Chain A
């Protein structure tokens, strides 16, 4: 039972355009959400997070949007750069357990 789902295994975007990565969750107890980025042969690295008390968090080119009623979050990257090509994992946790549940990942390719 996948509590955190990333339904798009891959996404291809032209350099300079916006990349939108999506994530859906089923557990209404989740109250903290994160995005991690993973390059080949490296471990995941933290990118950006959002608490359920907010609906948007921005950090430079990266913005995460949270829609609690739809149990949906998205990561926007604008403008996309070739160096953004990586696998992106969304993750969620609840303050009850603090246990991180990861999605299956989306492979983003940014082409020139």
Chain B
């Protein structure tokens, strides 16, 4: 089954404790991205990657890191999480960056930073 998976689905952590949210897709997609969803703000892009070893900042990259060592995986790293990073996070992938290529979203990771 074609899908985007994220782990963990739920995470409660404390300020400053490094964490990684994994994202994996099995559709051989070149383009992957991370979004956060916050009330009243919709979905905002954090980082994106057009291909292996190619990553770039989205609209709200501060406090986040990503890597793209393999085509299928695109982990999101929070080196020192803070409470303002409490949010619902979605990973997405598509064939290319072209907006006409449908983006497939993972199920989401709800993160709470205390």
Provide the residues of chain A in CB contact with B98, threshold 8 Å.
Answer: 98
A65 within 8 A of B: no
Provide the residues of chain A in CB contact with B99, threshold 8 Å.
Answer: 32, 34, 93, 95, 98-100
A42 within 8 A of B: yes
Provide the residues of chain B in CB contact with A102, threshold 8 Å.
Answer: 35, 42-44
**Interface residues of B, Cβ cutoff 8 Å to A:** 4, 35, 40-45, 58, 90, 92, 97-100, 102-108
When chains A and B are docked, how far (Å) is the Cα of A34 from the Cα of B45? 16
Report whether A43 and B102 are in contact in the complex, using a CB–CB cutoff of 8 Å. no
Chain B contact residues: helix, strand, loop or mixed: loop
Minimum CB–CB distance for A111 against chain B, Å: 23
Contact with B along A84-103 (1 / 0, CB 8 A): 00000101010100111011
Contact residues on A (Cβ < 8 Å of other chain), bracket = 20 to 34
Provide the residues of chain B in CB contact with A104, threshold 8 Å.
Answer: 40-42
When chains A and B are docked, how far (Å) is the Cα of A41 from the Cα of B108? 7
Given contacts A93-B99, A98-B99, A100-B103, contact A43 B90 (CB under 8 A): yes
When chains A and B are docked, how far (Å) is the Cα of A105 from the Cα of B41? 9
Provide the residues of chain A in CB contact with B4, threshold 8 Å.
Answer: 43
Provide the residues of chain A in CB contact with B104, threshold 8 Å.
Answer: 43, 46
A81 within 8 A of B: no
Provide the residues of chain A in CB contact with B44, threshold 8 Å.
Answer: 102
A22 within 8 A of B: no
